[in-house]
Amino acid sequence: MTFNLPPNFLSSNVEYLRKKNNMSQAQLGKLVNKDYSTIGKWEKGINQPSIEDSFKLAIIFNVDWSSLIRENLRNSKANSNDTFTLYDNNKDILTKDDEDYIKFIIEKRKKESEEEKKE
């Protein structure tokens, strides 16, 4: 008898969620008491976190543990309009001018936000 296991998205989800949360591998490693190289191995699928560590990751990233393992969170409907995902999925078609414009808009919004806080 052969069992077909469902796809495991843990590796790609750890990398996606870490980057989405602007964390380095070292920063995530500190939160789970692991070295940055361990996080890299998890993300590459060389090793997998223990069940305990995978629960910690779910808590850190505020996602359901089952979703962390079984769903491709990068392409989930909940994240499809996420700015990071939109950029990440389309960066190969952006021109230098597009990227400069995106940076301009971000800087403009930062200034507006700072001015609003002063008022």
The domain total for the chain is 2
Query: Are residues 4 and 61 both part of a single domain?
Result: yes
* pLDDT for the residue 92: 83
- Residue after which a domain boundary falls, among 74, 93, 109: 74
Identity of the residue numbered 53: D
Distance CA 66, CA 70 (A): 6
What beta strand segments (E) does the chain contain? none
Query: Are residues 31 and 53 both part of a single domain?
Result: yes
Judged against a pLDDT cut of 60, whether residue 4 lies above it is answered with no
Q: What residues make up the domain containing 88?
A: 81-119
Query: Are residues 70 and 87 both part of a single domain?
Result: no
Query: Are residues 64 and 35 both part of a single domain?
Result: yes
* pLDDT for the residue 84: 67
What pTM did the predictor assign?
A: 0.62
List pLDDT tens digits, range 10-67. Answer: 999 999 999 989 999 999 999 999 999 999 999 998 999 999 999 999 999 989 898 8
Q: Do residues 31 and 56 make contact, with C-beta atoms less than 8 angstroms apart?
A: yes
Query: Are residues 51 and 29 both part of a single domain?
Result: yes
Query: Are residues 58 and 89 both part of a single domain?
Result: no
Query: Are residues 56 and 94 both part of a single domain?
Result: no
- Of all residues in the chain, what percent carry a pLDDT higher than 90? 44
Query: Are residues 65 and 85 both part of a single domain?
Result: no
pLDDT band of 110, cuts 50, 70, 90: confident
